[in-house]
Structure 1
């Protein structure tokens, strides 16, 4: 089975302090979908991934198959696996179509 891997040409940074702020806001019941926690620099343009997108990005290191990425997210966010499968697959497919992820 193929494993998604970040394109090594993309420079990225995990914004840990920002993630801590987002997690606190989430605990307070605030909507955090629009807040970026991972920054990507692609062809000189900066892109932000939100909390869940950033976690998916981090998990796509070429060592896990799609099912393993879904399992890790389900564990981390205490969400039913079935709720994540399609969304994770769609997100990874979108990143692949942009050339940001590749399969190994």
Structure 2
């Protein structure tokens, strides 16, 4: 997955937050009764932004502003996280 291919797509999250891990700062997201994932804070934050209304480009821009980083520093990591979330069936495009 690369940015140019997905920048205009609007990912939508699947599943629901059920808890925060006590041992770490990770978030527990349930997709189905037998499918539960533990997400690192940044992955959870990106997942939570996938509301079906924001494009990948808008997510990158928003994260870049909030983290006070250049868009070029944020773009590839965001696309990588979205790719992993899609593989885990936690988002759909």
Larger Rg: 1
> Structure 2 unaligned runs (5+)?
1-7
Where in structure 2 are the equivalents of 1:1-104 lying within 5 Å? 1-7=8-14, 10-13=15-18, 15=20, 35-36=25-26, 38-43=27-32, 44-103=34-93
CA RMSD for the aligned pairs? 2.0
> Structure 1 unaligned runs (5+)?
19-33
Give the paired residue count.
Answer: 83
SS in 1 for 2:38: strand
State the distance in 2 between where 1:94 and 1:48 align.
Answer: 12
State the distance in 2 between where 1:56 and 1:83 align.
Answer: 15
State the distance in 1 between where 2:52 and 2:83 align.
Answer: 15
Deviation, 1:59, is 0.7
| CA shift in 2, pair 1:47/1:98, >3 Å | closer
